[in-house]
Amino acid sequence: MSGRNKNNEVVVLAHGDGGRLTHELVEKIFLKHFGSQVLKQLGDAAVTEVERGRIAVTTDSFVIDPMFFPGGDIGKLAVCGTINDLAVSGAVPRYLTAGFLIEEGLPMADLERVAASMARTCREAGVEIVAGDTKVVERGHLDKLFINTAGVGLVPAGVDLSYDKIQPGDVVLVNGTMGDHGMSILSAREGFGFGEQLVSDCAALNGIIASLLEEVKGVRLMRDLTRGGLATSTKEIAGAAGRDIWLDEASIPVSEAVRGASEMLGVDPLYLANEGKFMAIVAREEAEKALAVLQKHSLGQNARIIGEVKEGPGNVYLRTALGGTKYLDLLAGAPLPRIC
Ligand code: MG
């Protein structure tokens, strides 16, 4: 049948065979949206100039279900997630790669919507997709679309973040409310009727982090608060640093919508994933300045100081809003598969 119009065009196995249809797909979706000078050369590898210094390299895979969700989509998430891992490491994100693993039958319009979203997110964040790959597998062998990325960033001279720098007395800051991504995905997937208040916080953090590093010299370590949420990340950092961290529940920002949904579902927002939130551990004497820098930025309006570092073997404690103390451990089990 030749009457298949553009609106119901789908990805077929031949789009992944390296032949004519692969070339067409690359031309009309990926080059159209990602067409950087480096990518357009279509070599076997991207070759580009870099300044002398240190590079940061990261890789990630994105399998989120559903692929379109309130506040984002798998493409925006892939770009932001990769950028954020570089940014919290102190790097200025520069180059990304994107590998697309596609299930035969994926509507071409969905693939294009994802590509356009990735391109927009890259433009806004000042990064470039310089290499890519496409594979198509038979129907039923994966679910619609998975994306694998790599990211390369340059670490400016003088930026040196490490667990060893964390000292008793340091303070813990976050740039906003906890649990928005995890709760929005849970809600979208399960069809809970929580309305439109639950929106993923998916965002690229390189801008706000660059401001923080520029204006505050006492930043010890940063971490983006993805799978496992604030509680798990804090526990990992405390363990690696060999210091205790005390969090103050009343200071931890959680939106009304996430709080309400969490209570109803019996989940703890401190263990829910975020995709536009990070934690910074900062020298005490610069805590107020760091807070002001974060709150000045659009992605930090709800920033708070939420805790402090103490002498200890690497435990995490929560001073509860009711005046008790709770021991926080790593997230156990996987209540939410395919969250990112
Ligand atoms: Mg990370």
Q: For residue 6, what pLDDT is reported? A: 59
Residue 11 has a pLDDT of: 96
Taking CA atoms, 30 is separated from 8, 36, 38, 115, in Å, by 19, 10, 13, 7
Whether residue 4 is predicted with pLDDT greater than 80 in this model: the reply is: no
Query: Measured between alpha carbons, how far is residue 271 from residues 129, 236, 251, 265, 331 in Å?
Result: 32, 13, 16, 13, 7
For residue 50, name the pLDDT band (cuts at 50, 70, 90). Answer: confident
CA of 18 to the centre of ligand 1 (A): 33
Measure 272 CA to ligand 1 centroid, in angstroms. 14
Mean pLDDT, range 78-86, rounded to an integer: 98
The rounded Å distance from CA 83 to ligand 1 centre is 10
Q: What is the mean pLDDT of residues 265-291?
A: 96
User: What integer pLDDT is reported at residue 228 of this predicted model?
Assistant: 93
Average pLDDT value for residue range 31-51: 88
Q: Does the pLDDT at position 37 exceed 90? A: no
Q: What's the pLDDT at 52?
A: 86
* CATH class of the domain at 6-155: alpha beta
Residue 217 has pLDDT above 50, yes or no: yes
Check whether 5 has a pLDDT greater than 60.
Answer: no
Domain ranges across the chain:
6-155, 163-328
Looking only at the bridges linking them, the beta strands covering 316-319 and 145-155 are: unpaired
Cα 51 to ligand 1 centre (Å) = 25
Residue 3 binned pLDDT confidence (cut-offs 50, 70, 90): very low
163-328 belongs to CATH 3.30.450.20: no
pLDDT of residue 49: 84
